Chain A
Amino acid sequence: MSKILIIEDTETIREELKTFLNTYGFDTKAPTNFEHIIQETLNEAPDLILLDINLPIFDGYYICREIRKQSDVPIIVVTSRDNEMDELMSMNLGADDFVTKPYNTQILLARIETILRRVQGSSMRDTLVYNDLKLNLSNGSVTYQGEKAELTKNEIKILSCLYKNKGKIVSRDDLMDFMWNADVFVDDNNLSVNVTRLRKKLEALGMEKNIETRRGLGYILP
C-alpha cells in the first residue's frame, strides 16, 4: 500500500482528502504541526507528497526545495494560485506535477496513480484482479481461469472503471464520465455496444456471471 503524505493547512481539506485517498486504497498521513515539517516528512518516508503552497511558517516552495535536497520522493503541488509563474516555479524547484484547486478529484487520483506507477515500476499497478478475472492494463488483455482474450481500448476503460467500483453499481453517466476523462468521448449508443461486446468476450472466456445491467441504475460487476 502506497503511503501519501498530505501537507495542507486547511483542516477540512486535509481530513476529506485523507478519507478520499483511504477509500481508494492509499495509506495517508497528514501532519498538523508545521514547525518541523521537513524533518517530519523525511521521517515518514512517504511514497508521494501532496503539497500546498500557502502554508504557515514555511511556504510550499521552501519545503519543496528542502525536501528535494535530501529525497527524490515524488511531489505534487496542489494550490489555489493558478498562474503560469507558480507552475513554472514549482517545476523548477523539483515538483513532479502541479494541480490547481479546486481540483477534479478523479484527475488528482489519476495523476497520483500515474506518478506512482512511473516511480514504482509498471508491474505493481498494472494488473487488476477481481473474482479470478485478471485485467492486464499494459498489454490490454483479460485472463480468466487460464483463458486469455484481447480487449479494445474502450473495453479496457469500461472494465477498469467497474473494477474500481467492485461490487457497487456504476451509473451509465458515471461510466461515461470516467471514459470521457480518459479521452474516450463515447456517446450513449456506443457505450451500449461496447458493454455488449465486452460481455460476450467475457462469456467466451467461460465467465458466466459477469457484467450485469441494473435497469435504470447502471452496471455492476458482482
Chain B
Amino acid sequence: MTLKEYVKDRTVFLLTNFILFIIVGGIMLLVGINSQTVLLIFCIWFCPLILYMWIEYFKQKVFYDELTSITENLDQKYLLPEVMKEPETVEGKALYEVLRQANKDMHEHVKSYRDRENEYREYIETWIHEIKTPIASTRLIIENNQNDVTRNIQEEIKKIEEYIEQVLYYSRSNNVSKDYLIKEVPLVDLVRKVIKRNSRDFISKGISVNLEKVEGTVFSDAKWLEFILNQLIGNAIKYIRERNGKVIIHTVRNEHNIVLTIQDNGIGITEKDIHRVFEKGFTGENGRQFGKSTGIGLYLCKKLADQLGLGLTITSKAGEGTKVSIIFPLTNVNFMQ
C-alpha cells in the first residue's frame, strides 16, 4: 500500500472537507471576518485531520505489508488465516472472521474431493487385482491349448495387460510415496527383465537388441522403473516400421549421474512434435498416421520420473530414430557402487 493509493482511497472524504471549508471560509469572508482568522481556522480544521490520517496510514501500512509478506512466504497460501495476527480494528475483525469461515468451508470442500478420489483410487486398484485372476486363467488355458488361434489371443491378452498396468500406475502416480521402496537396482537386470517381457514383439518384428554396454547400479524403486522402461521400450518397438529394426540400450556414467539411453531406428518424431511428447493426451503426427496412440505413456513416464527424482529426455530425427534417456542423479541416495 502506497501513500498515493491511501490518499486516493480517501479522496471523497478530503474533498468534502475542502468543499465544506471553502463554503464556511467563503461565508466567513463575506461577513467580514479577516483572512488571518480564516487561515487559523483552516489550520485548526486540517492539522489534526492530516495528522490523524498520517498515523492511520502508517498503522494500516504495517498491517497490510505484514500480511503480504506472510502470504508471499507461505507455501500453502490458504493457511494465511491460521498464521496471521488477529487485527484490532472493527473492519479488520469482520474481514478476519469472514476469511476464516471461507477457509474452513474450502477445507471441507477439498476434503470431500480428496475422499472421493481416494475411494476411486482404491476401487481401481481392487478392480485391477480382480481382473488379473481371469487374465491368469486365460493365459493358462492358452498355454494348455496351443495353436494359431490361441497364439493370437495371447498377443491380444498381452496388450490388455499392458493397458491394465497403465491404469494401475496412472492411478498411483499422484502419490508415489505411498508404495515406494528404494532398493539397489542393477540396471542390467532391469533391462533384461523388460526385454524379456517384450521378447515376442522383438522376435516377431525381427528387431535385434543390443545391451552390451549396460552397467551400473542405481538406488530407486524397481517396480516404477520397470514400468517406465517398459513404456519406453514398448514405444521403440511400436515405432519401428521396417525390417532390420535395432534397439540399442546403453549406459554412460558421468561425474554426477548415470544415463540410461534407449535408442531405436524407427520412424522418429518430427521437430514440431518433439517438444510436446510429454504432454498429456498429445499424439502428434505419428499418432495421426499410425493410430493406437493414447498420449498417456510418455506423459506418465515423465510424471513418474519426476516423482522418483529422475530426469527424462528425448531427442529424435524424423525417419532416423529416437533416443530416450533416463538420468539417474548420483546423490547420497543414488550412488553407484
Binding site for B on A (CB under 8 A): 10, 12-13, 16-17, 19-20, 23, 80-85, 101-105, 173, 176-177, 180-181, 183, 185, 187-188
Contact = CB atoms under 8 A, between A and B. Distances in A.
B136 A101 contact: yes
Given A80-B133, A185-B195, 10 more contacts: A12-B137, A13-B140, A16-B141, A83-B179, A84-B181, A84-B222, A105-B139, A183-B192, A187-B206, A188-B206
Contacts of A85: 179, 181
Contacts of B208: 185, 187
B263 to A, nearest CB: 16
B129 A16 contact: no
Contacts of A173: 200, 203-204
A187 B195 CA distance: 13
A202 to B, nearest CB: 25
A177 B140 contact: no
Contact of A101 (B132, B202, B204): B132
Nearest to B197: A104
Contacts of A177: 199-200, 203
B140 A12 contact: yes
A180 B135 contact: no
Contacts of B221: 84
A176 B203 contact: yes
B172 to A, nearest CB: 9
A102 B27 CA distance: 99
Contacts of B209: 185
Interface string B127-161: 00110111111111101100000000000000001
A54 to B, nearest CB: 8
A20 to B, nearest CB: 5
A201 to B, nearest CB: 25
B77 interface: no
Contact of A80 (B136, B179, B192, B206): B136
B109 interface: no
B211 interface: yes
A172 B204 CA distance: 10
* Chain B binding surface, main DSSP class: helix
A33 B257 CA distance: 55
A46 B144 CA distance: 23
A10 B137 contact: yes
A16 B133 CA distance: 12
Contacts of B206: 187-188
A157 B181 CA distance: 35
21 contacts: A12-B134, A16-B137, A16-B140, A16-B144, A20-B140, A23-B144, A80-B130, A83-B223, A84-B223, A101-B135, A101-B136, A102-B139, A102-B161, A103-B136, A105-B140, A177-B199, A177-B200, A177-B203, A180-B195, A183-B196, A187-B206
Contact of B144 (A20, A82, A103): A20
A23 B211 CA distance: 35
Contact of B135 (A20, A102, A185): A102
A168 B157 CA distance: 25
A102 B135 CA distance: 6
Contacts of A83: 179, 223
Nearest to B246: A187
Contacts of A176: 199, 203
B179 A10 contact: no
Given A83-B179, A183-B192, A185-B195, A10 B140 contact: no
Nearest to B129: A80
Given A84-B179, A103-B136, A180 B203 contact: yes
Interface in B287-314: none
Nearest to A176: B203
Interface string B174-208: 00000101010000000010011101101110101
A17 B129 contact: no
A124 to B, nearest CB: 25
B211 A185 contact: yes
A180 B208 CA distance: 11
A80 B126 CA distance: 10
A197 B37 CA distance: 125
B107 to A, nearest CB: 31
Contact of B140 (A17, A82, A181): A17
Nearest to B181: A84
A181 B202 CA distance: 12
Contacts of B181: 84-85
A176 to B, nearest CB: 5
A80 B204 CA distance: 28
